[in-house]
């Protein structure tokens, strides 16, 4: 076991939400958190790759004699190639070419990847040739393999259409796809215990049938007992992970990025012993379109804090809104930004209500991003389209004032950025397994992208439970490498001035986090409270550069 002490200055703590400066604490960390995390990520990525296999059997091979008609190709009748390709990453594929040659024939193998790139090999006998390639763009590509028997002047050609596994993001005006209270989405009844609500995504509200994943804000309204909601693609097995946790009577939202089933639906299962109403609001979708937006992850940066006058001054009045300039702020480009990924926190509200975040130049939609009760501090992840002037709007839908905090964690642009690869929901970390909670003012570090430089961000659902006091969680890249922790040459990182989720004593609170891997691939999960809390981290996808 290793032991580390994290010193936190009074100024840094005071800048965080809801804390009073005091001494820092220290805690041991379970050694299991290291190697097994990387193995779980590799396993989940491999499982995602198996979902895309493309074949063209050898029988489809077209043979020709060089400079003559196809009928004249009488020599080397066995010359043929069968093709099978599978995805390896958001941009990569592995191609297996089963090459059949005549006895003693020397054959040149030319692979045209369909993107202007080619590879050439030489074989002298039947062989299973494995080749790997990374496409610059997601989407479909026609791969052509040509065998040339140079002794007999015969060629044999076969092609297969492949598609890289990755997808890119298209923002969508915030739109309600499901409301079991009013019948939007086809049902006007609460979801029964362990019942399932189906949400039509592909082909609905302008979302194309080929959408691979969707950004949904799922809200639980007035549940009759405690439990959780799990979102998953239709036609697949229900995962054991959770997306929204709730207690009886609580109205709570959580952002999800969930794959879309082959029939265009997403399913939401109510894992509780009571009825519950559900809302689902879409803000964008992922598809294999190369013209859609790639993601650029950022270290969390605060762009609004009404308590200090950053972005807006003073509590936001009820039934009012304020603009936020995002394009050109910090590391965000000044143009060509289609959407931003945020963490939005409400604190000190004087009454119950909700916040709605939406692009400038539009009327406030009838959707919600953060729901709150009086005096509650609560956060939620938000992906929101950016208006033509580079701004977004934040509306306080309550009748009473509230303070608002906004942290930006990334942005989408049509040119560049990483593609998204959904993976089977995978639990990466659960401190309850070793009875090893994260101590107050301490952090748990996880080497999520060590040895994986193309993984620029992870889509995670982070949950705190067994909380012994109030606090909030901050997730940010660590400047230390895994090797530095292993050989004890690390230096104490500075906790970020941002928050991802907030909790009170005894609460279980989840929130989606689009976590940047930073420069080292190590991600920190900070307990900014003063008492221990258990931490659960589930992975739902990864952003990968080509």
Query: Whose CA is closest to 542, among 520, 509, 513?
Result: 513
Give the DSSP letter of residue 495: P
pLDDT at 180 over 50: yes
- The set of residues, in sequence order, having a beta carbon less than 8 Å from that of 35 and lying 6+ positions away, is none
Q: How many helices (H) and strands (E) in the chain?
A: 3, 35
Q: Binning pLDDT at 50, 70 and 90, where does residue 101 land?
A: confident
Q: Which two tokens stand for residue 516?
A: 């940047």
Give residue for tokens 């763009």.
137
Task: Report the C-alpha gap between 216 and 267 in whole angstroms.
Answer: 12
CA distance 417 to 420: 10
CB 40 within 8 Å of CB 424: no
Phi-psi region of 487 (alpha: psi -120 to 50; beta: other; left: phi over 0): alpha
pLDDT of 528 above 60: yes
Spatial CB neighbours of 239, under 8 Å, sequence gap ≥ 6: 230, 232, 424, 425
Query: Model confidence over 429-454: pLDDT tens digits?
Result: 999 988 899 999 999 999 999 888 99
Residue 322 has pLDDT above 60, yes or no: yes
Q: What is the pLDDT of residue 36?
A: 78
Q: What pLDDT, on the 0 to 100 scale, is given for residue 52?
A: 81
Instruction: Say if residues 523 and 517 touch (Cβ distance below 8 Å).
Output: yes
Percent of the chain with pLDDT over 90: 78
Write the burial class of residue 546 (CB in 10 Å: 0-12 exposed, 13-18 middle, 19+ buried): middle
Task: Kindly state the tokens that stand for 88.
Answer: 């390896």
Per-residue model confidence as pLDDT tens digits over 486-497: 899 999 999 998
Which of the residue ranges 29-33, 156-160, 320-324, 348-352 would you say has the lowest mean pLDDT?
29-33
Sheet arrangement for strand 62-65: 62-65, 154-163, 140-149, 107-112, 118-123
CB 482 within 8 A of CB 521: yes
Mean pLDDT of the chain: 89
**pLDDT tens string 28-78:** 555 445 557 888 888 888 888 777 899 999 999 998 886 544 444 455 678
Select the more confidently predicted residue: 102 or 41.
41
Spatial separation of the C-alpha atoms in residues 92 and 137, rounded to whole Å? 10
**pLDDT band at residue 104, thresholds of 50, 70 and 90?**
low
């Amino acid at each position: 076991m290793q032991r580390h002490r994290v010193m936190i200055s009074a100024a840094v703590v005071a800048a965080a939400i809801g804390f009073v400066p005091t001494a820092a604490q220290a805690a041991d960390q379970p050694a299991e958190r290291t190697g097994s995390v990387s193995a779980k990520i590799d396993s989940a990525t491999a499982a995602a790759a198996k979902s895309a296999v493309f074949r063209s059997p050898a029988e489809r091979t077209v043979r020709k004699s060089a400079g003559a008609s196809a009928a004249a190709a009488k020599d080397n009748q066995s010359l043929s190639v069968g093709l099978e390709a599978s995805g390896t990453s958001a941009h990569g594929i592995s191609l297996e070419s089963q090459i059949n040659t005549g006895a003693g024939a020397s054959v040149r193998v030319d692979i045209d990847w369909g993107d202007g790139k080619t590879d050439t090999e030489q074989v002298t006998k039947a062989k299973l040739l494995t080749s790997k390639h990374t496409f610059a763009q997601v989407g479909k590509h026609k791969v052509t393999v040509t065998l040339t028997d140079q002794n007999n002047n015969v060629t044999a050609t076969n092609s297969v259409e492949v598609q890289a596994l990755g997808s890119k993001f298209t923002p969508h005006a915030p739109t309600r796809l499901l409301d079991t209270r009013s019948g939007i989405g086809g049902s006007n009844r609460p979801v029964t215990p362990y019942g399932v609500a189906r949400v039509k995504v592909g082909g609905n509200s302008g979302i194309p049938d080929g959408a691979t994943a969707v950004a949904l804000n799922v809200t639980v309204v007035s549940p009759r007992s405690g439990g959780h909601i799990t979102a998953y693609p239709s036609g697949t097995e229900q995962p054991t992970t959770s997306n929204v946790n709730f207690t009886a009577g609580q109205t709570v939202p959580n952002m999800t990025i969930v794959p879309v089933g082959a029939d265009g639906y997403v399913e939401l299962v109510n894992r509780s012993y009571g009825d519950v109403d559900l809302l689902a609001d879409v803000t964008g979708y992922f598809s294999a379109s190369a013209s859609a937006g790639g993601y650029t992850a950022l270290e969390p940066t605060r762009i609004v804090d009404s308590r200090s006058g950053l972005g807006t001054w003073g509590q936001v009045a009820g039934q009012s809104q304020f603009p936020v300039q995002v394009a050109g702020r910090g590391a965000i480009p000044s143009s060509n930004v289609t959407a931003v990924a945020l963490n939005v926190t409400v604190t000190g509200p004087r009454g119950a209500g909700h916040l709605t975040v939406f692009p400038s130049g539009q009327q406030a939609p009838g959707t919600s991003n953060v729901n709150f009760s009086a005096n509650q501090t609560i956060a939620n992840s938000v992906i929101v389209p950016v208006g033509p002037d580079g701004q977004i709007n934040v509306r306080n839908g309550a009748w009473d004032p509230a303070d608002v905090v906004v942290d930006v964690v990334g942005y989408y642009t049509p040119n560049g950025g990483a593609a998204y690869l959904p993976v089977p929901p995978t639990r990466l970390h659960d401190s309850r397994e070793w009875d090893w909670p994260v101590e107050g003012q301490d952090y748990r570090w996880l080497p999520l992208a060590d040895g994986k430089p193309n993984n620029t961000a992870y889509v995670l659902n982070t949950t705190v439970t067994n909380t012994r006091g109030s606090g909030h969680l901050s997730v940010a890249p660590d400047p230390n490498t895994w090797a530095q922790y292993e050989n004890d040459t690390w230096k104490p990182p500075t906790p970020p001035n941002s928050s991802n989720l907030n909790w009170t004593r005894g609460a279980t609170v989840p929130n989606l986090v689009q976590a940047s891997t930073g420069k080292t691939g190590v991600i920190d999960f900070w307990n900014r409270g003063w008492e221990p809390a258990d931490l659960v981290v589930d992975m739902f996808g990864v952003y990968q550069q080509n």
